Structure 1
């Protein structure tokens, strides 16, 4: 009886252990992993912020309402205008009647703005990025483009430029157009709402973080005050409750943007960094705050627990049996080649052997015999080193340039001078007589 109990204990122990290991370290593959996390979100994606490598996705191509995650595009255009010198942080702007009216609606996320006051870009931007203030967002749109209608055109143009595919911007804030008191941008419907797929939302966040990393300086502020010391003083708690000190705090989270409307549900684009690895998450169409941040936690836990940054090849790497290229008409008969830079990638733990370096030589540089022709300069690009993944699924990236981030030029490591005319002449003669001898020998062998 005791033996049977021991056997049962051992059996159930191993069942439990197997379940735990399967949950923590699921089978190989990237984009195909769409059900392993049991997310409540309608759509979700997890991405490496450095390369755009997709680690997990669930219905990520479907366009859904984005609510205030829309403001990431508005932030992008504001930061672009700052960096291009079109506007400055201390530049002041007035408030239109439209913006004034929107800003007074405290049932929406807003700081109250006065129509008889000038506000600087920095305070409007901070209220948009921290507190998701809708009036402030439209004020910045009007400053940059002259009107929200023109700004929406800029948003859609920038989306196309950044390679977004399943999207539609109809206003600068993410509100439903019916909340704009009939002032919705020209060319948009009164009931329309901004749309993006989870993949495109992640792509927008990817470009925002990489093009303007200073976005995190503001997005990471858990709480601020608008117009402190005035009658308009307004507390601005960050709606991203996963920031340190807030109720769903998660280590490393420092952005990026929440969103909530009746159509969008509760959605969130998050980002966190641990041990030099930064991840981007998107969850769309959840039912409440708990699901929004709980699903994001699942994604981040999965990413940080299962993936690690690994160097595949170091700088100056030479692939075995492809260390040299032959050279004709040179003082040396071959030249060494190597990669120019190290290549690292975020990979599943224990999968390093599934990544193989592959060198492709540019055949346009070679003779018909497959050789370079002297003179050859040191550092001449002769090909490309790429990384081939031999696991169950292919690697998928957010952008077309994703593959370029795991590539390296292959170059020559030394100068090969051209031989002088006499040496070339003697080589030609030697080659001539060698051909005669070879032909003669072949002919003689044919007689016997």
Structure 2
């Protein structure tokens, strides 16, 4: 009888367990893109809003994505007038030897040759040429060893974390024929988390958007019309005309080494949306890394971003906070001043989640005295910022800040009160203080 009872209980419980398992699988499918990577992140290129991430805080090999830092420092040096596009670089033993290694991505350089910075930069950005990258580093800092110091300093300035630079190219140091930068190991390689890679790309594109004018080039002939001419095909096979073409792609940087695997920082624009995706050590469903695997993973992330998210206005310009429309004013002709959000607040969010976000006022306490602004106050004075908070569900935040940080300002001028008004106000405060003190004393007697 007991065996029969157990049998019937099992028959009833098994379907329930199966239903619960199916439900769990569906939930998991909704929270992952099913890509096979060691790390990944997807952000809105305009606001830096993080749309998706997987293991984005773990330091991993970045290979030639390192060259984005070299590009940043190059553009900075150009803009500051330290070097020029037409400036010439004379090949030395180091850059000559590296350029002749055809196992690496390179344009061969003549031992006695000179090359313009523009030529070297195009070889870097289009063909990921390693000797050309070292040449740029030497032009900016004198030696690659000194260039590493600039890379570290800029990384700190940009807020990158958990990074290590051992050269300007992203190669494993073993390929640098014993000439790797001083203070680095013979087998060291550059590392960084996906989140820091995305932050670097975000700043590169914001500070020097002209980088995309070169990274979007499919193919170009290096030293065209000379005996040194060599065709440079872009390693970004998602560009128009290539095998993994994706609409809107115009950058940014691939990377491949044995240690780092197949990596890619890609960017694409459609309409008013621009996305940045980073994939690190991409493999296929069988665990095999390949060019296709990294571009398939990037495609999945782009598809997700472009189809599921839209650029929404979360707050209009002039928005007033319901629970605090004014601030008290100290020593002013007016006792209060109105405040509002200066500009429209927009962000890339899931199309059906607009109602999930609410504004929070964050005042700059350094401007306030006992919660009051001191007159005189000029219209437009920034008194804080608005923080957009998601009420329910997961929110990844922003790549470069904790919130949108849109300014909150005062809407009118407030002049400082005259001496007589201030005196009378002071007298009033004095007697008010006496009265409050007296009434408090009297009340205390009867407790």
Equivalents in 1 of 2:425, 2:42: separation in Å?
Answer: 64
Indicate the residue corresponding to 1:75 in structure 2.
71
| CA deviation map 1:386-409 (0-9, x unaligned) | 22221222442223xx23533312
Indicate the residue corresponding to 1:264 in structure 2.
260
Q: 1:265 to 1:415 in 2, by over 3 A?
A: same
Indicate the residue corresponding to 1:294 in structure 2.
296
Equivalents in 1 of 2:134, 2:310: separation in Å?
Answer: 41
Residues 121-200 of structure 1: matches in 2 within 5 Å? 121-200=117-196
Shift of 1:288: 0.5
| CA deviation map 1:208-240 (0-9, x unaligned) | 111211111111111111010111110011000
Indicate the residue corresponding to 2:360 in structure 1.
358
Indicate the residue corresponding to 2:17 in structure 1.
none
Equivalents in 1 of 2:364, 2:101: separation in Å?
Answer: 63
Indicate the residue corresponding to 1:112 in structure 2.
108
Indicate the residue corresponding to 1:349 in structure 2.
351
Indicate the residue corresponding to 1:10 in structure 2.
none
The question of whether the paired residues in 2 share the 8 Å contact of 1:343 and 1:408 is answered with: no
The question of whether the paired residues in 1 share the 8 Å contact of 2:341 and 2:406 is answered with: no
The question of whether the paired residues in 2 share the 8 Å contact of 1:71 and 1:174 is answered with: yes
Task: Give SS of 1:294's match.
Answer: helix
Residues 29-428 of structure 1: matches in 2 within 5 Å? 33=31, 36-286=32-282, 287-327=289-329, 331-361=333-363, 372=373, 375-399=376-400, 402-403=401-402, 405-416=404-415, 418=417, 421=420, 425=424
The question of whether the paired residues in 2 share the 8 Å contact of 1:259 and 1:268 is answered with: yes
TM-score (norm 1): 0.83
Shift of 1:303: 0.9
Shift of 1:186: 1.4
Shift of 1:124: 0.7
Equivalents in 2 of 1:146, 1:422: separation in Å?
Answer: 66
| CA deviation map 1:218-271 (0-9, x unaligned) | 111111110101111100110001111211111111100111122222111111
Equivalents in 1 of 2:189, 2:377: separation in Å?
Answer: 59
Equivalents in 2 of 1:213, 1:231: separation in Å?
Answer: 33
Higher mean displacement: 373-382 or 59-68:
373-382
| CA deviation map 1:344-401 (0-9, x unaligned) | 1111112111221222445666676x655655443344443322221222442223xx
Q: 1:364 to 1:58 in 2, by over 3 A?
A: closer
TM-score (norm 2): 0.83
Unmatched segments (≥5 aa) in structure 1: 1-17, 27-32, 444-448
The question of whether the paired residues in 1 share the 8 Å contact of 2:397 and 2:403 is answered with: no
- Cα RMSD between the aligned structures? 3.2
Indicate the residue corresponding to 2:285 in structure 1.
none
Equivalents in 2 of 1:428, 1:182: separation in Å?
Answer: 81
| CA deviation map 1:280-321 (0-9, x unaligned) | 111111201111100000011111111111122222221224
Higher mean displacement: 86-95 or 420-429:
420-429
Aligned length: 415
Indicate the residue corresponding to 1:4 in structure 2.
none
The question of whether the paired residues in 2 share the 8 Å contact of 1:224 and 1:235 is answered with: yes
Higher mean displacement: 248-257 or 63-72:
63-72
The question of whether the paired residues in 2 share the 8 Å contact of 1:92 and 1:119 is answered with: yes
The question of whether the paired residues in 2 share the 8 Å contact of 1:381 and 1:412 is answered with: no
Shift of 1:417: 5.6
Shift of 1:331: 4.8
